Structure 1
Amino acid sequence: MRRTVTINACPYCEGHGYVQLLLGGSETCYGCQGTGSEPEEDDKH
C-alpha cells in the first residue's frame, strides 16, 4: 500500500520560512518558525 504525505505551505510566508519586512530585510516567519510548513496539530487530549 502506498502512503501519501501532504505538506501544507505556511500561509504567512508561502513556504519560504521567512517574511519580508516593510522597511527592508527579512526575519524568520512567526507562523512556522522558519520551517516553511504549517505546524502539525496533535490530537492528544
Structure 2
Amino acid sequence: MLHLPDHGVFGNGHGLIYEKNSDDALVPVLKWLIENTEAAN
C-alpha cells in the first residue's frame, strides 16, 4: 500500500488516473515500482 499523502500528494480518490493531479500522483507510484521490481545488477 502506498499512502500518497506521505509523498506530498493530496486530495485523490480511487480513480487515480482521472484526478487533476494524476501526473503528481504517478511519480511515487513509478518510483515504488522501479525500486521493487527491477532486477539487481
Tell me if TM exceeds 0.5: no
TM class by shorter-chain length? Answer: under 0.3
**Structure number having the greater strand percentage:** 1
Q: Which has the larger radius of gyration?
A: 1
